Structure 1
Amino acid sequence: MTRVTLDAVGPGATVQDMGRRGFVAQGLSRGGAADRLALLEAAALVGGEIGAALELAGGRTRLTGDAPLRVALTGAPMRAQSGGRALTWNAVHWIEAGDTLTLDGHGHGVWSYVSFGGGIAGAPRLGSLSAHLTAGIGAMLAPGETLEIGADRGDAVNRVLDVADRFSGGELSLLPSAHTALFDAETRARFAATVFTRSPRSSRQGTRLDHDGPVFATAGQLSLISEIVTPGDIQMAGDGTPYLLGPECQTTGGYPRIGAIAPMDLPRALQCPPGATLRFRFDGIDAALARHKDEAAQLADLRRRVRPLVRDPRDMDDLGSYQLISGVTAGRPDQEEPA
């Protein structure tokens, strides 16, 4: 079993996979990676199944393996280097045994992911390796800890994905929720016209959205009955401040929710960094369905889009091992070249 030692680790680092399904009735939300798309991208790059990854929230992380590793870097871009060379983001790389992978965040996006060709190994709890901090399952990672990596049955490296920017905020599609109609038309229009700023007050449970102007409230909100809530819901706190609910949100709540982020826009919503702005566009179900792809379809599309990583020869320590002139000549010195 390969072991990876965390020589240094940034704040909020955890192990995350796609989370736990089927426990909402018992009060446990799905949890899992905040940016699920990043895990799909990693699976496409390494050529394997969707596995658990190291989820980082900025800072500096340094890790070293005791055996060679294939590593995919996805999610919010970080400055990455190993063995004296810079590593391309959204790509899969080969890390030699004993070489240290160093990652530094620079505020572009929130959640970054380090995935391994063999996947992070361990004993699942309720069907998942994910830490669920709100529920007290697992914990944040600390310097000196080790991760066990499973057997890697693939060999693809130096492959890259070209991905659209989802780390700068922007306009997001908002679908109606059970409470949308409780907000009057004027309040809904004001909400759609408001520019929100992603607050630093954030966790995997939810993110505060700051704004100028009056708060958002609905008549009779103090008498609402608690009901199911899901990641991506926009919920108004008691003072009328909106919060974007994250992967470890509560499973039920009685605060009014003006809408829910369309699933295709949820990675962009949760990757919006502090200080960036968001706007919301109320869409119908039909418009959302026209854009929607389930995760299996997204993964299949990502696998088709993986391409070879073109490397700068100046960064290739093993340049001499490459056949650079294949096909230039026939290799037969006793034959003349055709006229």
Structure 2
Amino acid sequence: MKTLSLILGAGLLLSTFANAEANLPDRQTELPAHAKAASSEYLVPRDLATIPDSEFGNKVKLGYSLFVNSQPMRGQYVGNEQNCANCHMQAGMKANSAPLWGAFMAYPAYRKKNDKVNTYAERIQGCFKYSMNGVAPAVDSPELVALTAYSYWLAMGGLLDKYDMQSTPIPEMSDTVVQLGGKADSFVLPEKIAAALPVEQRNKLAGRGYPKLAKSAETPSIERGEIVYKQTCASCHGAEGQGLKQDGVQSFPPLWGKDSFNWGAGMHRVNTAAYFIYENMPLGKSIQLSNQEAWDVAAFMNSHERPQDPRFTGDLKANQEQYHNHQGYYGKSVNGKVLGEHAFPVKAVD
């Protein structure tokens, strides 16, 4: 049954993340992507040094800290060696790298993945379940409150400055309002910004998400992708895709294996990975690979075993047919092995 309940205000209680996607078909054949904006007038968040020394500011600071280093949540909410900033470059500020300011302003929104209207907090909970191979924090947990506060701070500061309101402090809204997201009825923007950015336009900020990459001239090749990986990616992510550690701390993330994102995460889709890689890799350079190379190396990266899809109930073929009708290798044979048959555990904890 579709749940399309509208979120009418801050007085409504936010529901905790539920396994609402059980028994849902995979209708999200391609994650939301868009053509890259011709304009470079992207939102620019305020300097981190301007975060206030207040109760609200402390939430924002904690959110920033957890975003760039998510490992303090390992064993409780995080089950792998990933940090939020691995997929959202420059601490979630970089345009065309799924910036937090763009995501915040796009919610509440309906998502095909769990067939319901999601608040912004629920969207982040999904990241914990899939990308972090972990367990979603409760809506009122300090961690989730902090991550939503940080996202709001990036978005609101960027909007105020964009619309020539640089001297206006970022309003300190309630946790409940912030967790709904920038499209909620209870989320009130200054009149000048609201007039220029009506609700129906807030999910279309330039630089939101990963820009859609044109299809490759040739079918993505795992074999060609391995060559690209060895030449371009292995120096940071290791010859075996397990990333690099320094003094026991993961400095570059694993791309497959037990400590990577699981088979339910959006990044295991070849098209999503290609979009991200082309725009953002190699780290600090970006747009160094050709279109074909990005598709090929995305195929190679995602042709390896990783933690199981959390929606798996014991029947690999049924799970593949229900949730994986897209560009990916889950349930398919690669080098004589069916991926997913020997997946690593979900919600792995130390």
TM-score by length of 1: 0.24
Which of 1 and 2 has greater Rg?
A: 1
More strand by share: 1
More helix by share: 2
TM-score by length of 2: 0.23
